[in-house]
């Protein structure tokens, strides 16, 4: 039907916050975009496959319930060439019961002559359908105008700036709930769960040694039911809202099972969202160990997460509370690094030394000249490099400069974003 084409246009052509970077593995069912000044997460449910009568209700219900459960606004994609089908009507009935805003997008309206094909979709009862063409890109702006206008206004968290917001993410059965309980049990200052914002989160505040924290978990992570138990990949979607609100993301890995592909998907989103991150290897008590086990496991993490070599690794057991005392100091440290601001003259000294050791590349006789460098933001640290010709800045040289910056200022636990800009007279 072309959903993936539309999805890619939204996150790729409009504002590709989710970038293609070497080593980053992402689950392509989700992404991030922006339209009319509003940022949003977008999820491609993968489609409803109707393989036969026995599969119709099972497939329709699973896909529709997942979409309904996670979304603030639902884009209901239908096909102008196929016309209105029984499956469309079945999904429409479920969407009605959700009481959530629905926008009907009629795809494959590839020319003006096909405009009359959209009229039968008025019968779905969701108002005026919007004609689009994924292949030609027409109508996407109208679709986003309508969908974004229906998004709810997000409320502020209401937490003071010195509160560290910590999201626990990871695939099912990795021990997120056990770790929450271990942290709260150890501090003996359990605060009743506080309903979060319109993001459907559950926040649990606590305090330790004068530092206040909030543990963020999405409501979906705690739910039970056949949809969630049978569709493990959708735990990624339920992690997105928690990540967006967090200062520090704990990426939990099951020590017994090791690393699987979904761990990369989840970690990749935390990286791309620019959050401070810590790998937490849970259930370490259940692993047979010798003096090299931890070192080998750490190297395995580094090999699988080449794009997150900055993230520290903590081994612990939420069940026995072994090594649990190591976690909060690491959270504090990476939170500080995430908010670290470096003075401009210090940054320029480091870059000058780096350039002297390894001069910038040339391209067709032109040499890249770095004029100066400045940090423009924190959380994550964001650095702009002003040069004479941004187009000849090679990613490998940019990575070299990032490594030199990290060697000088650490930035442990946080991504560092580098942007290359052309120096103007105003600059």
Q: Which residues are annotated as a binding site?
A: 44-48, 107-110, 170-177, 217-221, 282-285
Question: For the chain, what is the HEC assignment?
Answer: CCHHHHHHHHHHHHCCCCCCCCCCCCCCCEEEEEECCEEEEEECCCCCCCCCHHHHHHHHHHHHHHHHHHCCCEEEEEECCCCCCHHHHHHHHHHHHHCCCEEEEEECCCCHHHHHHHHHHHHHCCCCCEECECCCCECHHHHHHHHHHCCCCCCCCCCCCCCEEEEEECCCCCCHHHHHHHHHHHHCCCCCCEECCCCCEEEEEEEECCEEEEEEEEHHHHCCCHHHHHCHHHHHHHHHHHHHHCCEEEEEEECCCCCCHHHHHHHHHHHHCCCEEEEEEECHHHCCCCCCHHHHHHHHHHHHCHHHCCCCEEECCCCCCCCHHHHHHHHHHHHHHHCCCCCHHHHHHHHHHHHHHCCCCEECCEECCEEEEEEEECCCCEEEEEECCHHHCCHHHHHHHHHHHHHHHCCCCCCCEEEEEECCCCC
The C-alpha atoms of residue 165 and residue 211 are separated, in whole angstroms, by 11
Task: Give whole-number Cα distances, 22 to 19, 107, 144, 240, 395, in Å.
Answer: 10, 33, 30, 22, 10
Within 10 angstroms of residue 168's Cβ, the number of other Cβ atoms is: 25
Distance CA 283, CA 302 (A): 19
First vs last Cα of the chain: how many Å apart? 48
- Extract the annotated binding site for GTP: 44-48, 107-110, 170-177, 217-221, 282-285
User: Across the strands, what pairs with 344?
Assistant: none
HSE at residue 251, side-chain half, CA atoms within 13 A, is 27
Considering only CA atoms, which of 234, 252, 247 is closest in space to residue 301? Answer: 252
Apex 331 CA angle, 327 and 333, nearest 5:
115
């Amino acid at each position: 039907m072309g959903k993936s084409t539309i999805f890619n246009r939204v996150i790729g052509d409009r504002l590709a916050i989710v970038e293609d970077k070497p080593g980053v593995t992402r689950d392509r069912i989700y992404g991030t975009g922006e339209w009319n000044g509003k940022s949003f997460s977008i999820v491609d449910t993968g489609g409803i496959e109707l393989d036969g009568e026995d599969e119709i209700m099972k497939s329709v219900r699973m896909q529709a319930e997942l979409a309904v459960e996670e979304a603030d606004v639902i884009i209901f994609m239908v096909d102008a060439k196929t016309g209105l089908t029984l499956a469309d009507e079945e999904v429409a009935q479920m969407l009605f019961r959700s009481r959530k805003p629905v926008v009907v997008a009629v795809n494959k309206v590839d020319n003006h002559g096909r405009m009359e094909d959209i009229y039968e979709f008025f019968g779905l009862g969701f108002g005026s359908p919007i004609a689009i063409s994924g292949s030609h890109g027409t109508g996407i702006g109208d679709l986003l105008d309508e969908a974004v206008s229906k998004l709810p206004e997000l409320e502020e968290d209401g937490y003071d700036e010195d509160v560290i917001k910590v999201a626990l993410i990871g695939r099912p059965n990795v021990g997120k709930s056990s770790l929450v309980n271990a942290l709260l049990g150890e501090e003996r200052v359990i605060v009743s769960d506080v309903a979060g914002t319109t993001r459907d989160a559950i926040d649990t505040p606590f305090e330790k040694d004068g530092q206040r924290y909030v543990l963020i978990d999405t409501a979906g992570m705690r739910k039970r039911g056949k949809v969630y138990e049978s569709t493990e990949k959708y735990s990624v979607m339920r992690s997105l809202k928690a990540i967006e609100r967090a200062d520090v993301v704990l990426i939990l890995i099951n020590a017994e099972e090791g690393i699987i592909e979904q761990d990369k998907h989840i970690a990749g989103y935390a990286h791309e969202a620019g959050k401070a991150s810590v790998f937490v290897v849970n259930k370490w008590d259940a692993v047979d160990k010798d003096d090299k086990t931890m070192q080998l496991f750490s190297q395995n993490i580094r090999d699988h997460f080449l794009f997150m070599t900055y993230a520290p690794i903590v081994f612990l057991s939420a069940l026995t509370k072994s090594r649990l005392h190591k976690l909060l100091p690491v959270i504090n440290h990476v939170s500080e690094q995430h908010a670290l601001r470096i003075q401009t003259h210090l940054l320029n000294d480091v870059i000058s030394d780096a350039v002297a050791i390894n001069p910038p590349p040339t391209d067709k006789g032109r040499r890249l000249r770095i004029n100066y460098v400045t940090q423009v933001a924190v959380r994550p640290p964001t650095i702009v490099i002003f040069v004479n010709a941004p187009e000849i800045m090679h990613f490998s040289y940019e990575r070299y400069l990032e490594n030199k910056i990290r060697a000088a200022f650490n930035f442990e636990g946080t991504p560092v974003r580098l942007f290359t800009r052309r120096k103007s007279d105003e600059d």
